[in-house]
């Protein structure tokens, strides 16, 4: 991971040859909430900051619907929480402010995915839905998929109801697994379990290990901490244009 700074804004990025993964921070109050003009401006600025042609996102609804994106499709008003594509110079991404952003990259087939996984998306296994689209629509193989888990409200701070803990514990995948510490739920652990259940190797899962609620190292937005603030982070991935 490296810190990429531009115009006093900070992004945390990974480069996999011709694929870039990026996670925004709240430095300089950079906000990607698309319902506000500042958010729309930030999304548009990504094009020049990262030299991409398009920035593609959805109207997130805490569900598990995952869309395939092909060139010139207009899906920004679609209700869904995941995007998969193989288009080049197109940044696909998700908005978060405590939920878990997940980026998937098939390094061999050059297919990318961005998933938004809050407790609802995690409980209903959006990871499985996203990988299914990658495999069925693009011929991906789990052996070549790397996963990146971005900043979110981690188990240190994510207190939920006992009823929700029990709902997770009722899932076959999470039985006999350490996914909670008292009333604190470990969404990252749940996501890791789901990824490995889909055949993703443990050493192909990269976690930033940054908590949106209590991070001292990076400035991040937290919906809970900031009492339902409108600030949003944007986690994204794109494939560079190949040059002969």
pLDDT-above-70 percentage for the chain = 98
Q: Is the pLDDT of residue 244 over 50?
A: no
Question: Is position 170 within any domain?
Answer: no
In this predicted structure, the answer to whether residue 154 has a pLDDT above a threshold of 80 is: yes
Q: Domain for residue 191, yes or no?
A: no
Assigned domain for 196 exists:
no
Give the separation between CA 119 and CA 31, rounded to whole angstroms.
23
Rg (C-alpha) for the chain, rounded Å, is 17
Which domain does 54 fall in, by range? 2-155+204-239
What is the secondary structure of 54-96 as a DSSP string?
Answer: EEE--B--SS--EEEE-TT---TTSB-SEEEE--BTEEEEEEE
Please state the rounded mean pLDDT for residues 127-138.
98
Please report whether residue 70 resides in a domain.
Answer: yes
**What's the confidence (pLDDT) of residue 243?**
52
Pick the closest to residue 96 from 217, 216, 188 (CA basis): 188
Give the per-residue pLDDT at 227.
77
What are residue 206's DSSP bridge partners?
148
Mean pLDDT (the chain, rounded): 96
Tens-digit pLDDT profile for residues 43-102: 999 999 999 999 999 999 999 999 999 988 989 889 999 999 999 999 999 999 999 999
Is 102 within the bounds of a domain?
Answer: yes
- Give the tokens for residue 135: 């495999």
Average pLDDT in the 132-138 region? 98
Q: How many domains does the chain have?
A: 1
Confidence band (pLDDT; 50, 70, 90) for 242?
Answer: low
168 within a domain of the structure (yes/no): no
Please report whether residue 136 resides in a domain. yes
pLDDT above 60 for 175: yes
Is 244 a member of any domain? no
- Find the CATH number of the domain harbouring 139: 3.60.140.10
Of all residues in the chain, the percent with pLDDT exceeding 90 is 93
The total number of residues written for the chain in this structure? 244
pLDDT for res 40:
96
38-60 pLDDT tens trace: 999 999 999 999 999 999 999 99
What mean pLDDT comes out for the span 113-137? Answer: 98
When pLDDT is cut at 50, 70 and 90, the band that residue 24 belongs to is very high
Is the pLDDT at 233 greater than 50, yes or no?
A: yes
């Amino acid at each position: 991971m490296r810190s990429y700074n531009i115009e006093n804004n900070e992004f945390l990025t990974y480069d996999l040859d011709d694929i870039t993964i990026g996670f925004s921070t709240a430095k300089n109050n950079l906000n990607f909430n698309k319902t506000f003009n500042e958010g729309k401006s930030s999304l548009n600025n990504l094009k020049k900051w990262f030299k991409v042609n398009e920035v593609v996102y959805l109207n997130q609804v805490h569900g598990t619907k995952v869309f395939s994106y092909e060139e010139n499709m207009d899906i920004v008003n679609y209700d869904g929480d995941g995007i998969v594509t193989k288009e080049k110079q197109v940044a696909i991404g998700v908005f978060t402010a405590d939920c878990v952003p997940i980026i998937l990259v098939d390094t061999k087939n050059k297919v990318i995915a961005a998933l938004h996984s809050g407790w609802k998306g995690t409980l209903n296994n959006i990871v499985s839905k996203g990988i299914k689209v990658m495999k069925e629509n693009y011929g991906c193989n789990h052996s070549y998929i790397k996963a990146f888990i971005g900043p979110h409200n981690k188990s240190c701070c994510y207190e939920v109801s006992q009823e929700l803990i029990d709902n997770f514990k009722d899932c076959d995948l999470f039985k006999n697994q350490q996914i909670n510490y008292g009333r604190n739920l470990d969404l990252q652990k749940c996501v890791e379990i789901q990824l490995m259940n889909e055949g993703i190797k443990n050493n192909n899962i990269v976690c930033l290990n940054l908590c949106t609620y209590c991070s001292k190292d990076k400035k991040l937005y937290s919906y809970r901490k900031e009492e339902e603030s409108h600030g949003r982070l944007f986690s994204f991935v794109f494939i560079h244009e190949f040059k002969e």
